Amino acid sequence: MSARLGRPAGAVARWFTSPVPLGRIAAFRTLVYLFVAADLVVFTPWVRLHADVPGTLYQPLLIGRLLPLPTPGWLLTTVLFWVLLAAALLAATGRAPRLLGWLVFALYLEWMLVAMSYGKVDHDRFDLLVALAVLPTVGAARHGDTTRSEKAGWALRCTQLAVVATYFLSSWAKFRFGGLEWLTGATMARAVLRRGTELVEWSTHVPHLLVVVQFLIVAFELTTPIVFLLRGRWYYLHVTLMYAFHLMVFAAVTISFVPHLIAMTSFLPLERVRPVRWAARLLRGRTAPPLAE
């Protein structure tokens, strides 16, 4: 195809599918599906409370109106919760990656509709949904497998694009809804006053500081696409900057975009993180000398 498409289109196609080790997919898969399970229980436990809310307050989003989905009630919410929890934990083992992967994607999407069809939509997990949608297409992937795969490359590239789009397009949304005044407005000042931590209380007393911060935020968000041009040390520095941004936001106003942080690991060589192997080595290490890494 790339030969037939000619050079530019071929280059785009190769960029979308540049191969990565299958071990990276195995690790990413485990992380993403474990997060789904943790999300149900730890991060957004309020979704389950919709089980008791009568259907008259259910206002399905567009996708919920297009698909023939039932109005959530106690039975649907409870069954969905337990089946999704079991499927996510099973999927985290890497077994039946297509079957379990598609199942988790479909059930989690429905779970999100149960979460967001009562009057409030969250914007912190587009990239996680993309990861859930593309992971099943890779098929089998073993932990530690160094075989590189173009299928794997496409899945991670899509997730990375969704991560960067979340930043870039949220600046775009600021200009659309807030206008250019967003830059000089009091959005940050009010956020700090409403939910600022002790670490940043002082910042509202410094004239213009939070306006400068607003300019910096937009500059950061609009320049995130350069991560695709960077290599080596600069690449990792940029990924570190993205995580540091969220660390600062959390320290300042205790807002954390956990699903987004999970999707962002698609930028990292996760195949080198082998907790099970390290634990085994540690146990063996008591009797034998440690193996060279």
Partner 1 sequence: MQGQITTRAGTDDEVPDEPPVRRLSPHGRAIRVVVALAGAALLLVGTLVGQDDDFPFGPFRMYATADKLNAPVHDTRLRAVDASGRHLQLTDTQTGFRRAELEGQLPRIQRHPELLGAIATAYHRRQPDAPRLVRIDVVVRLLALRDGRPTGAYTERTEATWRAR
Which residues from 146-185 bind partner 1, rule CB under 8 A? 146-151, 154, 157-158, 161, 165-166, 169-170, 172-174, 176-179, 181-182, 185
Task: Please report, as residue ranges, which positions from 239 to 278 form the binding site for partner 1 (by CB under 8 A).
Answer: 267, 269, 271-272, 274
Closer to partner 1 by CB, 86 or 251: give it.
251
C-alpha distances in Å from residue 152, one per residue of 28, 188, 267: 11, 39, 13
Give the containing element (helix H, strand E) for 246: helix 232-253
Closer to partner 1 by CB, 20 or 37: give it.
20
What single letter denotes the amino acid at residue 138?
V
Task: Please report, as residue ranges, which positions from 57 to 116 form the binding site for partner 1 (by CB under 8 A).
Answer: 57, 59, 61-63, 112, 116
- Dist CA 133 CA 74 (whole Å): 27
Instruction: Identify which range of 30-38, 81-89, 92-100, 129-137 contacts partner 1 by CB under 8 A.
Output: 129-137
Are 270 and 27 a contacting pair, CB within 8 Å? yes
Are 221 and 168 a contacting pair, CB within 8 Å? yes
Structure tokens at 20: 């990565």
CB of 141 to partner 1, least distance (A): 11
CB of 74 to partner 1, least distance (A): 8
Instruction: Identify which range of 34-42, 98-106, 126-134, 280-288 contacts partner 1 by CB under 8 A.
Output: 126-134
Instruction: Identify which range of 34-42, 95-103, 231-239, 282-290 contacts partner 1 by CB under 8 A.
Output: 231-239
DSSP string, 76-102: HHHHHHHHHHHHHHHHHTTSSHHHHHH
Closer to partner 1 by CB, 70 or 277: give it.
277
Are 159 and 131 a contacting pair, CB within 8 Å? yes
Closer to partner 1 by CB, 86 or 201: give it.
201
Closer to partner 1 by CB, 91 or 166: give it.
166
Task: Please report, as residue ranges, which positions from 5 to 64 form the binding site for partner 1 (by CB under 8 A).
Answer: 12-13, 16-23, 46, 49-54, 56-57, 59, 61-63
Task: Please report, as residue ranges, which positions from 185 to 224 form the binding site for partner 1 (by CB under 8 A).
Answer: 185-187, 189-191, 193-194, 204
- Dist CA 223 CA 170 (whole Å): 12
62, exposed or middle or buried, with CB in 10 Å at 0-12, 13-18, 19+? exposed
